[in-house]
Amino acid sequence: MTSPALPTSDVPTISREQLAAALRARRVTLVDVLSPESFAAAHLPGAINLPVADVGRRAEAVMPDRHAPIVAYCGGPT
């Protein structure tokens, strides 16, 4: 499900292999945008939990490197 307020046509994608390589090289910040409860139940190793509703308010405080590319993920369609 996408929001009309958040266009996705210009958002680049990354393959699983590219993500794994970028994480090993510490070139990206991995952000899980689900709820804290979902994050506690399961998340990718090394991910930071930053729920969508909190991005505007907390992103600057929790992002370790504000210049690093960000890879955000959620549960996706079920």
Active-site residues: which are they? 74
* Number of neighbouring beta carbons within 10 Å of residue 2: 7
CA dihedral sign, ordered 13, 49, 42, 3:
negative
User: Distance between CA atoms of 31 and 51, rounded to whole angstroms?
Assistant: 9
